[in-house]
Amino acid sequence: MPRLRPATVDDAPRLADIYDPIVRDTAVSFELEPPGAAEMASRIEKVVLDYPWLVGEEDGVVLGYAYATAFRDRPAYRWSVETTVYVHPAHRGRGVGRMVYAALLALAETWGYANAFAGITRPNPASESLHASVGFSQIGVFPHAGHKFGEWHDVTWWHRPLSPDHPPRLPAPPPDEVVARILSAD
């Protein structure tokens, strides 16, 4: 059974191994050059202080990962996150994506975030199904949002409410024991 844990910079080479072919071979990501392990480590370092980033692993092998980042830079957006999830091709269809993503969303809610948003390049029925399974609803389409591989690609935008406190509290990492409880619940 896969286990969940917070990502560390030591995971960067394995996460890059999952992500780099997605960048290189698909329009799922609009990056044009694979970031590689060093850049992935830098991204992890920048994100984990303010947002959750999780990996699912089994017998020391990283099967997939999910993370949250800032939705937009302006301060009024600070209660919303943009989320993403990637699963190694050899482990797709096993429920890894759903397990990692559900835990990520539970952590984001515990941190005090009110909304999660995700963009999905069309067509990607597997990702749309995954997002719907963890409570996202499609809220719109950005037509011709990105150009890759000589083609325009639409992006569907999805929303999942987390914890719409009124008034909201400032997001902050939960205590370690809360994180441990969430990660062991799946």
pLDDT at 186 over 70: no
**Element containing residue 128 per DSSP (H, E):** helix 125-133
Q: Is the pLDDT of residue 169 over 80?
A: no
Around Cβ 86, how many Cβ atoms within 10 Å?
Answer: 19
Looking at the structure of the chain, the number of domains it has is: 1
Q: Is the Cβ–Cβ distance between 36 and 12 less than 8 Å?
A: no
What's the predicted TM-score (pTM) here?
0.93
Give residue-wise pLDDT tens across range 39-78: 999 999 998 888 999 999 999 999 999 999 999 999 999 9
Place of tokens 């809220």: 139
Q: Give the span between the Cα atoms of 79 and 73, in whole angstroms.
A: 11
pLDDT in tens, 108-122: 999 999 999 999 999
- The boundaries of the domain holding residue 52 are 3-185
In this structure, what CATH number is given to the domain that contains residue 123? 3.40.630.30
Give percent of the chain above pLDDT 90. Answer: 79
CB 65 within 8 A of CB 86: yes
SS3 of residue 107 by DSSP: helix
